[in-house]
Amino acid sequence: MTDALASLPQNNVLVKIEDGVAWVSLNRPGKRNAINPGIVFEMNQVLDVLEAEDSCKCVVMTGSGDAFSAGMDLKEYFREPDAGPPVARERLNRANSAWQWRRLMYYPKPTIAMVNGWCFGGAFQFLCACDLAVSADEATFGLSEINWGIIPAGIVTKSVAAALQQRKALYYIMTGDTFDGKEAEKIGLVNFSVPKAEMVDKVKELAKKLMEKNPHVLRACKVGYHYTREMSWDMAAEYLASKIDATKFRDPEQGAAKGMSQFLDEKSYRPGLGAYKRD
């Protein structure tokens, strides 16, 4: 364990690394892991440390107890900071945006959301920012803001619009109805929903598959996806052509050359059936 990893507070956010996977748990089970300033600032620290931690190859985001996260803590995140100086409120908002989507969406290591229970409101922001997601069938999702007279703000509405088809997104935004993990998989909010007893094994299986890939190219794939979504077809073609060149030049593994040689010359693997053999 590095000094930086050992120095993490482990109060509002718990971190443990096993077999290359960093298990990051929001740790306010008594509040269903509602996001308060403590979680916000600790999560930014955690992401900084794990980015430089060689033993961390994949990050899994989850929650302690029976909840993933109930969203934003109305008292600690909104009412109390709103009563203080505006500069403190701005600092908190910047820090929250940083970990929930600006950093997490483009994080250099693969990320998986493991939705183990309640997932509401603001939790959709970092759920959607993770690369992939696995849910327990028994989990409960909801955008309940409409029920108490506000809109899904922050970046929640944008996250939901990016992840779901229009009819499904608007239905849950406008009604506040809840849904379970099976429905979350059906509408495309998560990749897989499994019985809670099988959830950790499913996440480990998925993490292992991601860790077999070339990490430099894996990062380029996800960043390329996010950027090209906002581009025209012509701009995307130019961007991806440049990204291919940059990836070949900067990849320390020189994966493209290895993969081509193993496929064409050595006949030792087939691209459609797995990754090339890494040293």
Single residue among 190, 211, 232 that ends a domain in this structure: 211
To the question of pTM greater than 0.85 for the whole model, the response is yes
What is the structure's pLDDT at 78? 85
Residues 48 and 158 in one domain: yes
Single residue among 193, 211, 229 that ends a domain in this structure: 211
Residues 225 and 113 in one domain: no
Residues 180 and 243 in one domain: no
Tell me whether residue 224 is in a domain.
yes
pLDDT tens digits, one per residue of 69-118: 999 998 998 888 888 888 988 999 999 999 999 999 999 999 999 999 99
Single residue among 159, 178, 211 that ends a domain in this structure: 211
Backbone dihedral angles phi then psi of residue 195, each to the nearest 5 degrees: -55, 145
Residues 262 and 206 in one domain: no
How many domains does one find in the chain?
Answer: 2
What is the structure's pLDDT at 272? 67
Q: Between residues 137 and 265, which one has the greater pLDDT? A: 137
Tell me whether residue 184 is in a domain.
yes
Q: With cut-offs at 50, 70 and 90, classify the pLDDT of residue 4.
A: confident
CB 26 within 8 A of CB 39: yes
Tell me whether residue 10 is in a domain.
yes
Q: With cut-offs at 50, 70 and 90, classify the pLDDT of residue 1.
A: low
Tell me whether residue 279 is in a domain.
no
pLDDT of 225 strictly over 70 = yes
Query: Range of 25's domain?
Result: 3-211
What is the structure's pLDDT at 251? 77
Residues 144 and 269 in one domain: no
Instruction: Look at residues 113, 16, 5 and name the one whose alpha carbon lies nearest to residue 52.
Output: 5
Residues 222 and 198 in one domain: no
pLDDT of 204 strictly over 90 = yes
Tell me whether residue 278 is in a domain.
no
Q: What is the CATH number of the domain that holds 36?
A: 3.90.226.10
Tell me whether residue 151 is in a domain.
yes
Q: Between residues 21 and 150, which one has the greater pLDDT? A: 21
What is the structure's pLDDT at 122? 93
Spatial distance between the Cα atoms of 275 and 123, rounded to a whole number of angstroms: 33
Centre a 10 Å sphere on the Cβ of residue 137 and count the other Cβ atoms it contains: 17
Mean pLDDT of 37-59: 96
Instruction: Look at residues 174, 205, 201, 171 and name the one whose alpha carbon lies nearest to residue 189.
Output: 171
What is the structure's pLDDT at 89? 86
Residues 206 and 219 in one domain: no
Tell me whether residue 120 is in a domain.
yes
Q: Between residues 179 and 276, which one has the greater pLDDT? A: 179
Spatial distance between the Cα atoms of 263 and 186, rounded to a whole number of angstroms: 36
Tell me whether residue 181 is in a domain.
yes
Residues 183 and 244 in one domain: no
Residues 167 and 64 in one domain: yes
How far is C-alpha 224 from the chain's CA centre? 16
Residues 170 and 261 in one domain: no
Residues 201 and 263 in one domain: no
CB 121 within 8 A of CB 179: no
Residues 187 and 257 in one domain: no
What is the structure's pLDDT at 106? 95
Average pLDDT, rounded, for the chain: 92
Report percent pLDDT > 90 for the chain.
73
Mean pLDDT of 113-135: 97
Alpha carbon distance, N-terminus to C-terminus of the chain: 24
What is the structure's pLDDT at 275? 75
